[in-house]
Structure 1
Amino acid sequence: MHGRPRRSALYMPGSNKRALEKAKTIPADALIFDLEDSVAPDSKAEARDQVCAAVKEGGYEGHETVIRVNALETPWGTDDLHAACEAAPDAILVPKVIHSGDIISAAKILQSCNAPEKVRLWAMMETPMAILNARTIAATAVYEDNRLCCLVMGTNDLIRESRAHAHYDRFAVVPWLAMTLVAARAYKLDILDGVYNDFNDTEGLREECERGSSLGMDGKTLIHPSQVGPCNEVFTPSASEVEWSRKIIEAFRKPENENEGVIVVEGQMVERLHLTMAERTVDIAEQIADREALVG
């Protein structure tokens, strides 16, 4: 296993019970049940109970379930984490991460709650300080007890705090994406691009997904179910990519190549680094096929 598909991660407001039920039929790879930005202060406790009950009840087969809690320093953060540990989603998304200590603190709470081993941590990268500290935040993944497996870009907050302008080509945003992506890859983490705000603009969404894919993003966070289809299409390995990857794998499996570091495949020089990439591409493509057969 070389990871799991995270092409599309759809935010679902935790205070909307109908949305939590509808989410079971949406073909997003990941569902982020939000207790933070989309929930008013006087609805936080109710949303927490609602989300955790839904996750415990299940019915989200084929999806990766993620609960975004409130920051630990808020009145709801610690209770959110304790409740989320008991609900045991696939991951807990920690907001407002600014340094490695935020991940370590969350991980310690998971340990103290005896959260199941499958519960991972995702980190929101949504402040200028988070971008400056991307390397040390990502480096917490070196220790398995910290459970970190994915970074999530919070581009709206980054734009606001930096006073940048959100032009269509994201000229100001790309350096932050690239810096964080390199940190993620250095420590073998996945990374998801930020949201596209105009959910009626399918063409613009597709272009932004393609740019994110070209940059190396594993997928994108979304705010509306209508965005899932185009996002999944862009971040799915193409038939030609899968075919080429299979050829690389097959070539390295030949007895005469099993100890070689560099070989030639159809006239192209291929290294073992490319073999690792090829194996991941095929594995992700197969998981997507299995998932789509399950979810539809």
Structure 2
Amino acid sequence: MNKDRTLRPRRSCLAVPGSSARFLEKAQSVPADQVFLDLEDSVAPLAKPAARDSVAEALNQGDWTDKIRVIRVNDLSTEWTYRDVITVVEQAGENLDCIMLPKVQSAAEIQWLDFLLTQIEKANGLEVGRIGIEAQIEDAKGLTHVDAIAAASPRTETIIFGPADFMASINMRSLVVGEQPPGYESDAYHHILMSILMAARANGLQAIDGPYGRVRDSDGYRRTAERSAALGFDGKWVLHPDQLDIANAVYAPSQSDYDRAELILDAYAFYTSHDGGAVGAVMLDDEMIDEASRKMALVVAAQGRAAGLSRTLAFTPPVR
């Protein structure tokens, strides 16, 4: 289990084509928690070598403020992956937070990336182990092995759902990335999302939902984001700036939920103290709270603080 890495919030994860200088520059100013510079699907084969240098230059010279900086390399079935990693990490390792590995099918692939990163870090005087790994699950084989993939390396920070390739790999009857297939009345993605979420949480990792293809359909994006947020996912990919505000809002708690969580924490701390009577279960308004309530409130409170929310309610201990 990954207990030592500090996992920053990733409510919104903006995808940026690594071969586009305009998009690389524009991405630096958008309010995304994470920006990943893509060397895979958005870059044509002939443009991949030049894109590596462009991405490294953007990492070194760009102003990314406090964004999480990630590159998505090509998958290990291609001839490009090792050179993607070596080129970018050797040139810009000090300004890189994570490497995203797509189409992961086994724990061995994550271990390969871990070993390669360690060699590059040692050879170039970089802090060993600082660069994290993000694993993207994009087919049935990867989902079948997701538990082992999530546990494969202490570098791993997130498990990501890649809907487009996944839909194609299982012959799902939909041509809209991330959309429900016509004719299926339930949620076709529930098992996939829950499997990824369980593997992530069992190993102390974040779970990130993938893109929604209709970039101008704000209602569709919000609907799919709310689905994974309700399950407990930490964030979602953003393909267009119009989706950013939706992701940042959906994956942060509401003001009322945040206030309630802070009240529960304060009330529980008081009632379990000597002054509060040292009791383990009490009523807060019309709700019983106990240790389980405290754990649930901790999650929501942490999310609200990370989103920059401020309390609007305060707990007042009863007069005894």
Mark yes or no: TM-score above 0.5.
yes
Match of 1:97 among 104, 110, 122: 104
Larger radius of gyration: 2
Using the TM superposition, give the Cα deviation of residue 280 of structure 1 relative to its aligned residue in structure 2, in angstroms.
3.5
Cα distance 1:201–1:263, how it changes in 2: closer, same or farther (>3 A)?
A: same
Distance 2:106 2:140 in 1: 11
2:14–2:237 contact (8 Å) kept in structure 1: yes
Structure with higher RCO (Cα < 8 A, 6+ apart)? 1
Mark the runs of 5 or more structure 2 residues left unpaired by the alignment: 182-186, 310-320
More helix by share: 1
Using the TM superposition, give the Cα deviation of residue 258 of structure 1 relative to its aligned residue in structure 2, in angstroms.
11
2:209–2:233 contact (8 Å) kept in structure 1: yes
How many residue pairs match? The answer is 286
Using the TM superposition, give the Cα deviation of residue 236 of structure 1 relative to its aligned residue in structure 2, in angstroms.
1.5
Match of 1:129 among 133, 141, 145: 141
1:84–1:92 contact (8 Å) kept in structure 2: no
1:245–1:279 contact (8 Å) kept in structure 2: yes
TM-score (norm 2): 0.82
> Is 2:160 aligned against 1:152?
yes
Let me know the Cα RMSD of the aligned residues. Answer: 2.3
2:265–2:298 contact (8 Å) kept in structure 1: yes
Using the TM superposition, give the Cα deviation of residue 128 of structure 1 relative to its aligned residue in structure 2, in angstroms.
0.7
5 Å-filtered alignment, 1:115-126, equals 115-116=126-127, 117-126=129-138
Match of 1:44 among 42, 45, 48: 48
TM-score (norm 1): 0.89
> Which whole-Å deviations, capped at 9, do the CAs of 1:244-293 have from their partners, x for residues lacking one?
11112212332247987655433433343443443343233223229xxx
> Is 2:276 aligned against 1:269?
no
Counterpart residue identity of residue 156, structure 1: A
2:268–2:290 contact (8 Å) kept in structure 1: no
Matched residues, percent identical?
33
5 Å-filtered alignment, 1:1-296, equals 3-86=7-90, 87-88=92-93, 89-114=96-121, 115-116=126-127, 117-141=129-153, 144=154, 147-166=155-174, 168-169=179-180, 171-254=187-270, 255-256=273-274, 262-289=281-308
Moved more, 69-78 or 252-261: 252-261
Cα distance 1:161–1:269, how it changes in 2: closer, same or farther (>3 A)?
A: same
Partner of 1:293: none
> Which whole-Å deviations, capped at 9, do the CAs of 1:4-55 have from their partners, x for residues lacking one?
2211111100000110000011111111100011001111011011101111
